[in-house]
Amino acid sequence: MSSTRPGGRARRMKNKDNPMQSAHDSPRCGAKTRCGTPCQAPAIHGKKRCRLHGGKSPGAPRGERHGQWVDGRYSIEAMEEQRRFREFFKMLRENLADL
Q: Which parts of this chain interact with Zn ion (CB under 5 A)?
A: 29, 31, 39, 41, 50, 53
- The rounded distance, in Å, linking the Cα atoms of 52 and 44 is 10
- The rounded distance, in Å, linking the Cα atoms of 46 and 49 is 9
HSE toward the beta carbon, residue 29, CA cutoff 13 A: 18
Closest approach, Cβ 5 to Zn ion, in A, equals 37
Nearer to Zn ion, 27 or 75 (CB): 27
Closest approach, Cβ 25 to Zn ion, in A, equals 17
- The rounded distance, in Å, linking the Cα atoms of 39 and 30 is 5
CB 80, CB 72: distance < 8 Å = no
Closest approach, Cβ 39 to Zn ion, in A, equals 3
Nearer to Zn ion, 13 or 39 (CB): 39
Nearer to Zn ion, 32 or 62 (CB): 32
